[in-house]
Amino acid sequence: MVSAVPFKTEKSEEIFAAAQTLMPGGVSSPVRAFKSVGGQPIVFDHVYGAYVWDVDGNRYIDYVGTWGPAICGHAHPEVIAALEEALKKGTSFGAPCVQENILAEMVIDAVPSIEMVRFVNSGTEACMSVLRLMRAFTGREKVIKFEGCYHGHADMFLVKAGSGVATLGLPDSPGVPKTTTSTTLTAPYNDLEAVKALFAENPDSIAGVILEPVVGNAGFILPDAGFLEGLRELTQDYGALLVFDEVMTGFRIAYGGAQAKFGITPDLTTLGKVIGGGLPVGAYGGRKDIMAMVAPAGPMYQAGTLSGNPLAMTAGIKTLELLQKPGTYEYLEKVTHQLSQGLLQAAKDAGHEVCGGSLSAMFGFFFAPGPVRNYEDAKGADLSKFSRFHRGMLEAGVYLAPSQFEAGFTSLAHGQTEIEDTLAAARRVFATL
């Protein structure tokens, strides 16, 4: 059954009230403050498998998975054991370690576009570094991104940046110089004609196109048939680079990421989330001739005190090893599809207009008639209904991402019990909206 203890939040409220006097908004990352769904956020105490527990003793089935990394389930015993071993040798070397080679080899073997890789500490760092590399390699400055796609919070990408930014209703962020974003061109997702027009207007000055090959930061949105292929051709025609930001989709949509699933090989790829197994890791990689630009092999500077540290590498290695087991992605696909179809059916049975779907271990739905093909469509969803749904599910013991503009994540620890309990809770909550 869902939560054994009646829903109470005294301790969460007390801790969050104190947090607000200590940290802006009481959080270390904005979406955690529940601004878009309203109500108090809950404060976690511990996590295990498909579950999280808060400081008041409530237990929740978790579909956030620390925003993606927990694909094997939280605190997987084998990951924890590997970390305990690694810990005895120290937490950071600031010098080469063999674990970097092991994880690098695993990433290169897995991801079709990656022939060489550089480790960093977050997805944001991976994306800001890859942008510098795109510009260094092509000698061009402009970049095309899509409305609603999030590539971390570096200045150049804080234009129509989806999720966190969208949730707060900030069109862009103050503090970002216009000169910085003047080289960032935007187009609606799934709109190949708009991209063609941008290339036609700027034939010699676009370094490349960066996108989420499956969108998770404007809610869950799939690429239309032909969209990724079209971008591959256009970038080639104009001597520009194609970059897949697979920070979210890497090792989640398939072991080799969305590029393996769709059979489209970009020039460069960014990774994060899953490859860190819950520790702070990001990475960027791609064709050898492009990666040869990166210092100290080449002139493009990029560095990191804690980059490639043995603890983070160890968590990543063990997580990828677990994912290599036969049947992993078949299982994730099946269980996520069952959840997603069950949610859509439950909503429709209760008379709500919804659309959505899933791919491998990623899912989402909108309170909208659909189809949702881009960020404009997503913004048309009934956000107030989502807020009420979110709060109802929380009180029923199900932790969903606190924004309509976020995808949901499943893990290997989500089994029949969790899916059935979630659907039972959803049926009850949908009936009250």
Ligand X SMILES: *Cc1c(COP(=O)(O)O)cnc(C)c1O
Cβ 345 to ligand X, closest distance in Å? 28
Pick from 37, 64, 156, 248: which binds ligand X (CB under 6 A)? 248
Pick from 217, 302, 309, 404: which binds ligand X (CB under 6 A)? 217
SS3 161: coil
Cβ 397 to ligand X, closest distance in Å? 26
Regarding 26 and contact with ligand X (CB under 6 A), the answer is no
Cβ 364 to ligand X, closest distance in Å? 13
Regarding 405 and contact with ligand X (CB under 6 A), the answer is no
- Can you tell me which residue has the tokens 């404007």? 218
Q: Of the candidates 100, 84, 412, 417, which has an alpha carbon nearest to the alpha carbon of residue 251?
A: 412
**Among residues 76 and 151, whose Cβ is nearest to ligand X?**
151
The one-letter amino acid code at 35 reads K
SS3 423: helix
List of residues 6+ apart from 324 with CB closer than 8 A: 255
Cβ 218 to ligand X, closest distance in Å? 11
CA dihedral 241, 246, 249, 253 (to 10 degrees): 50
Instruction: Please state, in angstroms and rounded to a whole number, the distance separating the CA atoms of residues 286 and 268.
Output: 4
Burial environment of residue 10 by CB neighbours within 10 A (0 to 12, 13 to 18, 19 or more):
exposed
Pick from 50, 127, 221, 413: which binds ligand X (CB under 6 A)? 127
Residue 273 appears among annotated catalytic residues: yes
Regarding 364 and contact with ligand X (CB under 6 A), the answer is no
Where does this chain touch ligand X (CB under 6 A) — which range of 70-78, 210-218, 331-339, 370-378?
A: 210-218
Regarding 247 and contact with ligand X (CB under 6 A), the answer is yes
Pick from 151, 373, 379, 390: which binds ligand X (CB under 6 A)? 151
Residue 331 appears among annotated catalytic residues: no
**Among residues 3 and 374, whose Cβ is nearest to ligand X?**
374
Where does this chain touch ligand X (CB under 6 A) — which range of 30-38, 120-128, 311-319, 388-396?
A: 120-128
Instruction: Please state, in angstroms and rounded to a whole number, the distance separating the CA atoms of residues 72 and 64.
Output: 13
Pick from 36, 99, 124, 235: which binds ligand X (CB under 6 A)? 124
Q: Which strand (E) or helix (H) includes residue 341?
A: helix 328-349
Where does this chain touch ligand X (CB under 6 A) — which range of 34-42, 148-156, 187-195, 223-231?
A: 148-156
In the DSSP assignment, the letter for residue 229 is H
**Among residues 69 and 397, whose Cβ is nearest to ligand X?**
69
Residue 150 appears among annotated catalytic residues: yes
How far out from the chain centre does Cα 394 lie? 21
**Among residues 73 and 216, whose Cβ is nearest to ligand X?**
216
SS3 405: coil
List of residues 6+ apart from 351 with CB closer than 8 A: none
Please count the residues of this chain forming the interface with ligand X, following the rule CB under 6 A: 15
Collect contacts of 170-178 with beta carbons under 8 A, ≥24 apart.
none
Catalytic residue, chosen from 54, 56, 245, 377, is 245
Regarding 356 and contact with ligand X (CB under 6 A), the answer is no
Regarding 152 and contact with ligand X (CB under 6 A), the answer is yes
The one-letter amino acid code at 306 reads L
The one-letter amino acid code at 5 reads V
Contact (CB, 8 A) for 280 and 116:
no
Q: Of the candidates 357, 358, 360, 359, which has an alpha carbon nearest to the alpha carbon of residue 328?
A: 360
Regarding 123 and contact with ligand X (CB under 6 A), the answer is yes
Pick from 26, 65, 216, 257: which binds ligand X (CB under 6 A)? 216
Which residues are catalytically annotated?
A: 150, 245, 273
Site of interaction with ligand X (CB under 6 A) = 122-124, 127, 150-152, 212, 216-217, 245, 247-248, 272, 282
